[in-house]
Amino acid sequence: MGFSDMSPEEKQTIIEHLEELRKSMIISSIAVIVAAVACFAFNEQILAFVTSPLTMLDEQLIVTGVTEAFFVKLKLAFYSGFAIAFPIVIWSIWRFFKPALYPSERKYVYVILPTSILLFVVGVVFSYFGILPLVLKFFIYIAGSLETMFKVDQYVSFILAFTIPFGIVFELPIFVFFLTKIGIIRPEMLSKNRKYALLIIVILAAALTPGPDPISQMMMAGPVYLLYEVSIIVSKMARPGKEREAKRKKKDRMNQEKDKNISDEEK
């Protein structure tokens, strides 16, 4: 059914939804732009923070293009502004979707959304402070007697390509929770396929980490596999209530049969 075939009430409802969506997009865009402009005023401090892992190794960055430094600082200001304005962006999106959700669904959002944001931040912070210095040391060591001269735009792109995937893969328990809730996966399936999961994690780590070095790949694969084990626990907790109850009854029956067999043997 096309828009022209709808009743006036249905057309009005769709127009109202589109208007709310437009307001949410405008609020998000303004918040990001304002925050990015404010961050650009502190571009030197932001750049110093991003380049600190390299400067701590007594390495310097160079600029080889006329506009290179400007666009690098502009990029950092945008990403910093988006990070600062992210709560407003989430609020505007939530403001649009909230009326369409049932109270039980909103309850899950109130728990899962902060958890997913926290996991993403933990992944980025872990990669930046824990793994990035080791990876940089490895590359500098491999250079050996060669003089290392890092371009600032390539370095910033490397940092973004290195830290953001860590934040994404740290969302694994959240994805597992949803897939368990809708019945696509089961904790038994996750437990049974550990070896295949490890292989896939190693392949993904090789694809997501910039550069061919095995150090950064293993540094990502290790924590992600640990998250996989955590996801198995999360999957067991997220199992639908009826399924948990059925499994508990089955376990009780097995225990009763076992006790009965032991009693018969004693007789």
What is the pTM assigned to this prediction? 0.71
pLDDT of residue 248: 52
CB neighbours of residue 181 within 10 Å? 14
CB neighbours of residue 51 within 10 Å? 18
Confirm if 172 and 227 have CB atoms less than 8 A apart: yes
pLDDT of residue 36: 93
DSSP state of 64: -
pLDDT of residue 77: 93
Q: Write the pLDDT tens digit of every residue in 158-206.
A: 888 888 888 888 888 888 887 787 777 788 888 888 888 888 888 877 7
Q: What are the φ and ψ backbone dihedral angles of 58, each rounded to 5 degrees?
A: 60, 35
Please give the Cα distance from 103 to 188 (Å, whole number).
30
Segments of the chain scoring below 50 in pLDDT: 1, 3, 242, 244-245
